Amino acid sequence: MRSTLRPTTGLIATWLLALAMAHSEISLAAETYVAGKHYQLLEQPVPTSDPERIEVTEIFWYGCSHCYDFEALLEPWAEKLSGDVVFVRNPAVWHPTMELHSRAFYTAKVMGLLDTLHPVIFKEINVEKNKLASEEALAELFVAHGADKEKFHKTFNSFGVSSAVRQAQARQRGYQVKATPEMVVNGKYRITSRLAGSHADMLEIAAYLVAKERENLSSTEDS
């Protein structure tokens, strides 16, 4: 007896339902995050550190308790970024104490102590309630964690650190940052906790925008 190869009406209905659901999921994913609603599209993109990779920037201040809380989520998230993504930190500056802390960040970076001192400075200010509001207070902290005091002062007041602070301020203006913490993806998309809704949502939106940029870069290379 010859068997029929034609699908039954029930099977056709199942296929159509599956296709409709798949289309719905794709549309939903495409519309999950919207510029102007969940993140801001910068009118003037800010140049990134490496045009060959997708840059994710955190704008922070050591004295910001929200930034301190954000670190617990951000650190493991950043560690899992793929090789085509570079994660950078940009200290925010809009008053003298923030400039001191920005100098501390770049001083630690130049001295090769950033991995050690970044969490220490956060904890000292937010947990120990030491405001670290002077160069000498910062020097004491650096020395307590292995730095040479004379080298600290020399680096802290160096042209290189001063230049790095000015560049961070220029990027901050380009990003239109008004609060911390905030994130910027590839110099184009600004993510705020106010628009995102929560710190966890900021990271979800950042991941979405990284994927969006990866797709854009792939399309550019293929064209």
> How many beta carbons lie within 10 A of that of residue 89, not counting itself?
15
Work out the mean pLDDT of the chain and round it to a whole number.
89
**Structure tokens given for 210:** 């990284």
Please report the pLDDT score of residue 223 as a whole number: 57
Q: Name the nearest CA neighbour of 113 among 148, 77, 69.
A: 148
User: Please, which residues have CB within 8 angstroms of residue 46's CB and are 6 or more apart in sequence?
Assistant: 171, 174, 175, 184, 187
- Burial letters for 8-21: b for 16+ Cβ neighbours within 10 Å, e otherwise? eeeeeeeeeeeeee
Please report the pLDDT score of residue 218 as a whole number: 79
Please report the pLDDT score of residue 219 as a whole number: 75
d(Cα 210, Cα 172) in Å, to the nearest integer? 20
On the CB side of 63, CA atoms within 13 Å amount to: 17
d(Cα 48, Cα 67) in Å, to the nearest integer? 22
The CATH class of 40-222 is: alpha beta
Please report the pLDDT score of residue 81 as a whole number: 97
Q: Name the nearest CA neighbour of 192 among 207, 177, 173.
A: 177
Contact 156, 136 (CB under 8 A): no
DSSP 3: P
**Structure tokens given for 143:** 């020395």
Residue holding tokens 């230049």?
163
What average pLDDT does this structure show over 5-9? 47
Q: Model's pTM, two decimal places? A: 0.85
> What tens digit of pLDDT does each residue of 84-113 get?
999 999 999 999 999 999 999 999 999 999
> What tens digit of pLDDT does each residue of 54-91 get?
999 999 999 999 999 999 999 999 999 999 999 999 99
Q: Which residue type occupies 204?
A: E
